[in-house]
Amino acid sequence: MAVEKIILGIDPGTTIMGFGLIKVVGKKMEFIQMNELLLQKYKDPYTKLKLIFERTIELIDTYHPDEIAIEAPFFGKNVQSMLKLGRAQGVAMAAGLSRQIPITEYLPKKIKMAITGNGNASKEQVAKMLQSVLSLKSLPKNLDSTDGLAAAVCHFYNEGRVEVGKSYSGWDAFVKQNEKRVKK
């Protein structure tokens, strides 16, 4: 009998957090859901982080993912934007780690490369490829949800490879893998 597992992909953000879920049965993947958490109407950054944590916990408790794939913040010119993205990512990761779910982080270029074969692909190209591969009837207006779905599909494509990204199975694993940085 084929092994079945669920992968939750997250595109963290403090304006919109996109997410997507796929079910993997053997070597085939099936689309479950994609959506987004809209945070524009909230002014307080701490409220946004609380909502990201709560929504991630809700997704975990509803769909019981076996693994989480999350997009890493990319380095841009605006340091404040990167800090906000890092906080959003950290809160989503903390939610997964609190439920003992292994997390793997992927750079945006790695996700785009896995989905389209081009690390510089546009959001639209990634969305169209996902639509084709997963037989999606339509695409959402905002492509943050397809970015979250792309993280999950990227994780599926990279399964079994030796080097897939930074991966943590829990707080203990995170500390163990980062203790050289901590002991200074």
* Catalytic site positions: 11, 71, 144
Sign (positive/negative) of CA torsion 107, 113, 118, 122? negative
**Cα 30 off chain centre by:** 17
- What stretch of H or E contains 38? strand 28-38
Instruction: Mark the binding-site residues for Mg(2+), compressed into ranges.
Output: 11, 71, 144
Q: Which amino acid is it at 158? A: N
Instruction: Mark the binding-site residues, compressed into ranges.
Output: 11, 71, 144
Instruction: Return left, alpha or beta for 53; rule: phi > 0 is left, psi -120 to 50 is alpha, else beta.
Output: alpha
